[in-house]
Structure 1
Amino acid sequence: MKKSVLLLGAGIAIVAASCSKNDTIESLPAPEVTIENMLSQNSVAQEDTLIFKVKASQGSTFSWAVDGKDAGIADSIFKFYSDALGSHTITVSASRNERKTSAQTNVTVYGKYKYGTFILNEGNMTSDNGSLIFISPNGAITEDAYFKVNGTKLGNVTQDLFIRQNKMYIISQNGNKNAEGTAFANDGLLVVANAETLKKEASYNSELATLSWPTHIAVLNDENLIIRDNAGLYRFNSNTKELTYIKGSRSAAKLTMAVSNNKIFAAAGSKVYVIEQNKDSITYALDMKANVSGVVKASDGNIWISTVGSPAKISKINFRDYSLIKANDITTGSVSAGSGATPGITAKGDTLYFSGAGTKIYRHIFSMGTTEFMVDAKTMVENAGIVYNNIAVHPITGEVYMNTLKGFGLNYLVNNISIFNFSNGVALSANYQNSTKFPAGIFFTYSFN
């Protein structure tokens, strides 16, 4: 405030005041500003986008920053994406009349591959290595994802994968040699990668050289990687690199193993073996009285078991004492695993699906004991000639995934990943064409939580 004095007659002085520009600005209110999260998400995968909008007093101008660095955006809309994992602070500043107010929000970026669906490809055993397809929750497909991250290939004839504590374990049949014994450039028999980013963390070849065509893996901890091969089950300690045969496991079947209550359940003919950590022999052999075609963890921690006797059955087994909770006869459709290496059944809650390794899908409601035919994939999917390994139900959406080939020979190049939705009739949610190379299985990240 500037003041001046005017002298008048009779000794009277009048003080006049005038306001400067700064005084006028300081008397105006600062702009109000808030950030609106347009997608209502505080976390996002690498390469995906979150959208923010600033709400501020009329006449304001804006600037955005991420972690204190100017983002170079002056618009009211800010699209955030980042490859850097972890927490990030987004700040917007609104300016008006040379006064500035800021607002901020925090977001978390997680690995691109943390949530979604993986299709593991065997590849061609004589000319090609294994590979990994990823389908994000919004349906975007990434082919050969492991190679795109690492610049190297998975082993020859990859067969199975398992996720535990942010690590992905991928086992292959031939490792760094093809079926004819010719050396192949790849990352070997067992590859361990970060489950969020797919960045390779370790690989094992010579340590597992005594294995004969390994096919499946299940993990309890770093000291207990359970691997199945033609001779049975082995315990591999990834810290000491020691491989130990588990006595009594010779008949272990070429089928996915289930993990519950820190135990592994493995099919073996008419039995289901129970393997516990740090033990060199099986803990228990549950006799199902008929050939086991699938062992799957139930959502309550118990174990689903399918058998192909007469009649076929789906049984639920207590994971603590291995007692039978209930068994249902299956007289419609088939729960056979076929010639594949994945279970003949797949489950979401009380609902199970099976196809007998064929194109006809059936649904069984266990609590009601009812089975119904849902669809023949051939009526909705072109070139669905052969189902390669079994169907799998998404544990969140309830959609059923099926991998089909037009046929063998060069016809394997014509293929489909088909996703069926049965929530309201029968619908084909999505169909990805010509992406697979002899798909070994369908794996949902949510199944390993």
Structure 2
Amino acid sequence: MRKTRLFILLAVYLAVFTVSCKKTTETPRGKYAVGVFVVNEGNFTEANGSVGFYNPQDQSVVADVYAEENGVAPGGVLQSVYFYNNLAFIIDQVGSRIEVVEAETFKPVAAIETGLSTPRYMVVANGKGYVSNWGPFDSNFNLPESFVAVIDLNDFMVSKTIPATSGPEGLFVFGNQVLVAASFAAEVQILDTDNDSFTGKIDVADGPKTFVEDKNGKVWLLSSSYVTGAALSQLDAAAGTVLKSFPISSSAMRLAINGSGDRLYYLAAPFGADAEVKTVGIDATEDASEALITAPNLYGLGVDPASGIIYVGNHNGFQGNGTVLRYDGTTMLDSFAAGVGPNGFVFRQ
């Protein structure tokens, strides 16, 4: 009996010892796993767009990540960069192409070069990619051939196109639906991703551009029109209704939200001598009375969800490279060099 007990204890000890000695292997992360990506639009006439990278920990900057890793610049005029799992999609609006790269290394994976026409923004829903496309302007500067392209994420090809209301811009995923901002109209279209068709719309302020989601699951929409001015609207995406809407400026662009989801930031009057970064809480019913930041040539806007630091891109008149300014509230912390026309930021943690 004693021998049996000793044998059992020895077996347990060996099992524990074997498990404890096993080394845990972790897949090393790429050099661009954590940090801030800067989308540098580039000049329309020179097609010199780029994607920069800023590391807040050591304040190091990579001016052009793609060129750094692949020996050649991505080129084109970059509207946006979308990250999904281990991939990044670099959207060139003028070249009507999407370069797909590994998110943490920026090594090429694929290029989507057919089926697009002035692509703008992308989301993934229901296992498929959705890309807003303006299509060509007609002789009256309208966009009658706008559409949403559906991307097969296995072969990185456009599997179908869905005709859309003029100028589809920002996209927002809500369950199995994608909200599509029709920027040349006054509506948000509702796209059912099960059958890839539009099933309804929400009437909103003229010129809807971009969405963010607050801590309560409500969707905020920034609209801006040369005719009617700019507005912020809070939507109930589930009900397909506007909960509230109020004017914010004669014109506006860019919309961001802080990490806790209770404060909105937007770039107001961006085409004047001085642009303004304004902020309101999600309980607001009117425009902010004062600007948080006022500076010339502001073009891009983002808020680090972890630190709350505000990033703004200065295009410097598109005369050479731009600059990124970092603020803690109204206090400017520092700045770093960007590419041409920094129009947006992606924060990776």
| TM-score bracket for the superposition, by shorter chain length | 0.7 to 0.9
Q: How many residues align?
A: 305
Question: For 1:273-422, what aligned pairs fall within 5 Å after superposition?
Answer: 273-308=189-224, 313-324=231-242, 326-330=243-247, 333=249, 336-337=252-253, 343=254, 345-348=255-258, 349-358=261-270, 359-369=275-285, 371-378=288-295, 385-388=296-299, 390-408=300-318, 411-413=319-321, 415-422=322-329
1:270 Cα deviation (Å)?
Answer: 0.9
Correspondence for 2:177: 263
1:311 Cα deviation (Å)?
Answer: 8.2
Contact 1:118/1:135 (CA < 8 Å) preserved in 2?
Answer: yes
- Structure-2 change in CA distance of 1:155 and 1:189 (3 Å): farther
What SS is found at the alignment partner of 2:119? coil
What SS is found at the alignment partner of 1:364? strand
The structure that has the greater radius of gyration is: 1
What SS is found at the alignment partner of 1:110? coil
Correspondence for 1:157: 77
The reply on whether 1:111 has 2:30 as its aligned counterpart is yes
1:158-177 deviation digits (Å, cap 9, x = unpaired): 211111122111111233xx
1:95-130 deviation digits (Å, cap 9, x = unpaired): xxxxxxxxxxxxx74222222211112233444442
- How far apart, in 2, do the equivalents of 1:274 and 1:330 lie? 24
- How far apart, in 2, do the equivalents of 1:275 and 1:296 lie? 17
1:278 Cα deviation (Å)?
Answer: 4.5
Question: What percentage of residue pairs aligned between the two structures are identical?
Answer: 24
Task: Output the aligned Cα RMSD.
Answer: 2.9
1:137 Cα deviation (Å)?
Answer: 3.4
- Structure-2 change in CA distance of 1:262 and 1:146 (3 Å): farther
Correspondence for 1:27: none
Correspondence for 1:77: none
- Structure-2 change in CA distance of 1:318 and 1:366 (3 Å): same
1:328 Cα deviation (Å)?
Answer: 4.8
Choose the corresponding residue for 2:124, options 187, 194, 219: 219
- How far apart, in 1, do the equivalents of 2:118 and 2:179 lie? 20
Choose the corresponding residue for 2:334, options 406, 413, 430: 430
Contact 2:187/2:203 (CA < 8 Å) preserved in 1?
Answer: yes
Moved over 4 A (4+): 308-312
Contact 1:116/1:136 (CA < 8 Å) preserved in 2?
Answer: yes
1:296-315 deviation digits (Å, cap 9, x = unpaired): 23344431113358685422
Correspondence for 1:246: 162
Correspondence for 1:141: 61
- How far apart, in 2, do the equivalents of 1:393 and 1:287 lie? 28
What SS is found at the alignment partner of 2:66? helix
- How far apart, in 2, do the equivalents of 1:357 and 1:232 lie? 29
- How far apart, in 2, do the equivalents of 1:369 and 1:352 lie? 12
Correspondence for 2:19: none
- Structure-2 change in CA distance of 1:294 and 1:197 (3 Å): same
1:133 Cα deviation (Å)?
Answer: 0.4
For structure 1, the residue ranges without an aligned partner over 5 or more in a row are: 1-66, 69-85, 89-107, 176-187, 338-342, 379-384
- How far apart, in 2, do the equivalents of 1:301 and 1:115 lie? 26
- Structure-2 change in CA distance of 1:109 and 1:236 (3 Å): closer
What SS is found at the alignment partner of 1:373? coil
The two structures have a TM-score, normalised by structure 2, of 0.76
1:285 Cα deviation (Å)?
Answer: 1.1
Contact 2:214/2:282 (CA < 8 Å) preserved in 1?
Answer: no
The two structures have a TM-score, normalised by structure 1, of 0.61
For structure 2, the residue ranges without an aligned partner over 5 or more in a row are: 1-21, 136-145
Question: For 1:125-136, what aligned pairs fall within 5 Å after superposition?
Answer: 125-136=44-55
